[in-house]
């Protein structure tokens, strides 16, 4: 696929989120075990909807190829969640595009800061956030497997 990328804001219940949910569940379970299966149902879907959040998908040739969401963390901070790139579309910079779209949406909703955590067994996510200007809130020299969650922040001001 090499069509034009189109960003679309959707609801969690939208059938187009199916690949995101399936692949993220597979990634979480593969990396963290069956207990991680519940992660995708941990939050009420309304937290990823305006006026405090958003869920977006990038479509190419009508198919969802990447996506992500944020929810309210506090009055000035949005928390990124569910950053995903379809397994057949990785290494194309799609996650960077998702982050850029989410950052713009967060500013539009009045947020001035982003926060997120990623798991210690997701080195590609850690590298993505470091490469896109997120500040690690943990010791980068520590073994990631000794840290439960790897928190990051980014000022949007």
Q: In what order do the strands lie in the sheet with 54-60?
A: 5-9, 54-60, 63-74, 77-85, 113-118, 150-155, 135-136
Of the options 3.40.640.10, 3.40.190.10, 3.40.309.10, 3.40.630.30, the CATH number for the domain spanning 5-155: 3.40.630.30
Helix (H, G, I), strand (E, B) or coil at 39: helix
Omega before 134 within 30 of 0, i.e. cis: no
Residue 102 pLDDT > 60: yes
State the pLDDT at residue 2: 63
Residue 18 pLDDT > 90: yes
pLDDT tens digits along 103-125: 999 999 999 999 999 988 889 99
Q: How many whole angstroms from its chain centre is CA 94?
A: 12
- From residue 78, alpha-carbon distances to 104, 105, 111 in Å are 12, 10, 6
Domain boundary assignment for the chain:
5-155
Report pTM: 0.92
From CA 76, how far away is CA 112, in angstroms rounded? Answer: 6
């Amino acid at each position: 696929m090499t069509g034009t990328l189109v960003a679309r804001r959707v609801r969690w219940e939208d059938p187009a989120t199916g690949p995101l949910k399936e692949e993220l569940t597979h990634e979480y379970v593969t990396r963290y075990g069956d207990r991680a299966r519940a992660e995708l149902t941990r939050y009420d879907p309304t937290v990823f909807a305006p006026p405090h959040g958003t869920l977006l998908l990038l479509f190419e040739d009508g198919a969802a190829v990447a996506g992500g969401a944020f929810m309210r963390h506090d009055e000035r901070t949005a928390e990124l969640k569910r950053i995903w790139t379809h397994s057949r579309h990785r290494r194309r910079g799609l996650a960077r595009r998702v982050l850029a779209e989410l950052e713009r949406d967060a500013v539009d909703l009045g947020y001035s800061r982003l926060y997120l955590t990623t798991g210690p067994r997701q080195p590609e996510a850690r590298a993505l956030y470091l490469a896109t200007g997120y500040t690690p809130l943990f010791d980068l020299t520590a073994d990631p497997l000794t840290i439960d969650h790897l928190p990051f922040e980014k000022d949007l001001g």
